[in-house]
Amino acid sequence: MTTAPVPAAQSLADRAERSKRGSGAQPAAAGLFTGVRLRLWLTKSAFSVVDQGFTALAGFSVSFLLARWLSPETYGAYAIAFAAYLFICGFHNAIVLEPMSVYGTARHSSDLRRYFRMQLQVHAVLASALSAIAVLLAAVVWLLAPRSPLAGAIFGSALALPLLLLLWVTRRMCYVLQRPRIALFGSVGCFVTVLAGLYVLRYLQRLTPFSAFMLTAGGSLLGAILILVRVARRHGGAGHPAGAFAPSVGAPVSWRATLRENWSYGRWLFGTAILYPVSGQVQMFLAAAFLGLGSAGALRAMMIPAAVMTQVVSATDLLILPGFSYDFGRGSLLRMRRKALLISCALGGAGLCFALVLLLVAAPAEHLLFSGKFAAYVWLMPVLALIPAINGFNSGFSATLRGSQKPHFDLVANAIAAPVAVISALFLIRAWGLAGAAMSLVVGCATLAFVNFCSYCHLALSARGQESAPLPPATSLESAS
């Protein structure tokens, strides 16, 4: 662990109290909820949601158009390579993105310029190592099956990996600076480039999983450059209030020291980074192994409509988590539990309605999206739409656990859901084919939600009666938890 004097996680109440004492300008907290502050918060939240939407839309466009234009086998190769990319993203998120969000303003607010530069170097080292491993995997696949489109797809994802993740790093910098509007420029630039490039590649008859990954990498590079340029222009002066990009002073911090600091936090997320993709991606690999690349492509294509509702749940989760953390910091545990029930019921109910709509319009929706290419699998759409519905029911309870600074509950849930997903996939795919793969996805998701609900109930019972207990004047979330 690092020896920095600032705790890794502090309660919002503690921060607000110390801010008031330091400024002396605000005698009370009455100014915290003025119209100006509320509009500022709503504006930032809106830019955050739109930014997430354009990022998701870029990935959605690639998946949708490739499913529409490529053969099922070729698209299945892309689906496998993309699933492997998502698995690698979990490691990158644990070692780079999440630690940067936690430690950026807490420990390095006086010199974010140097800190971001070190994080870019950490990203370059980590992404290059992961990319090299993926290249070796592509070589093995090519030696075993030289005519399979899977080798080219994996090779393309391996080469594109550093640039794809670079956009995520620069976007996270914007959120550390509380400037989601700047991140939006990068997301829009990437989306426009990818969408236009896909049609150009199809016109030139050069559209393959490899070229699609290369195109997305180019769009990500453009988006990252747009973000870095705007950040340097808007926050390059020494007069920035937070001192974010003030001239660097003191001894330089090496990227190795930054990596060690990241690891001190990210190691606790490593288990989740491994287990969570297992429960949601292993079915794709097993479907390809047992049923062929065409079946994996069909499974991925039938998941695309459900991705719309999945993005709604994810965007809502980004918005509600800070509020849950604030309630926990103030000791408003009863308020937090009520919000959890309301949000879970609302999102879960909306997800079920979405699945019901897909059940009624699945056939025309498939014809509109894929022109009948996957008509034999149209019944999978409403089944797979149960996944965002379950995630919706899980959202409020999961946010309560994370907002209460209880990450071990998330690790426990994933440790139980992952083996359930693997075992159910092995048995159900052999018994029911592609239907078994879809059911295994639902079972794994439901297991995760059930364990989180049980953990939530345990936390609620243990915290009962604390709502009226007085809180110490200044405490950290670590001591409060």
pLDDT over 70 at 477, yes or no: no
pLDDT of residue 114: 87
The phi, psi pair for 475, rounded to 5°, reads: -150, 160
pLDDT of residue 178: 79
Band the pLDDT of 48: cuts 50, 70, 90.
confident
Q: Which of 34-43, 126-135, 217-226 has the lowest mean pLDDT?
A: 34-43
- Burial tier of 20 (Cβ tally within 10 Å: 0-12, 13-18, 19+): middle
- Burial tier of 232 (Cβ tally within 10 Å: 0-12, 13-18, 19+): exposed
1-10, 392-401, 437-446: which has the highest mean pLDDT?
437-446
pLDDT of residue 236: 56
Q: What is the DSSP string of 249-261?
A: -SSPPPHHHHHHH
Tokens of 429: 């795919």
pLDDT over 60 at 291, yes or no: yes
Domain segments of the chain: what residues? Answer: 1-16+37-253, 270-468
Q: What is the mean pLDDT of residues 444-466?
A: 86
pLDDT digits (tens, 9 = 90+) for 392-406: 999 999 888 877 767
Q: Which of 263-277, 332-346, 407-421 has the lowest mean pLDDT?
A: 263-277
pLDDT of residue 261: 87
Q: What is the mean pLDDT of residues 415-437?
A: 95
Tokens of 403: 């907002």
Instruction: Give the whole-angstrom CA distance, residue 367 versus residue 64.
Output: 13
Tokens of 264: 């001190």
Greater confidence (4 vs 95) lies with 95
Tell me if 322 sits within 8 A of 357, measured CB to CB.
Answer: no
pLDDT digits (tens, 9 = 90+) for 326-363: 777 778 888 888 889 999 999 999 999 999 999 999 99
Band the pLDDT of 5: cuts 50, 70, 90.
very low
CA angle 230, 231, 232 (to 5 degrees): 90
pLDDT over 90 at 418, yes or no: yes
pLDDT of residue 53: 82
Go through 171-209 and write b for each residue having 16 or more CB atoms within 10 A of its CB, e for each that does not.
bbbbbbbebbbbbbbbbbbbbebbbebbeebbeeeebbb
pLDDT of residue 235: 60
Greater confidence (166 vs 403) lies with 166
Greater confidence (286 vs 238) lies with 286
pLDDT over 50 at 470, yes or no: no
pLDDT, the chain, mean: 82
Longest dimension (CA), the chain: 72
Tokens of 436: 């078994």
Tell me if 445 sits within 8 A of 279, measured CB to CB.
Answer: yes
pTM of the model: 0.78
Greater confidence (440 vs 278) lies with 440
Q: What is the DSSP string of 29-68?
A: GGGGG-HHHHHHHHHHHHHHHHHHHHHHHHHHHHHHHHHH
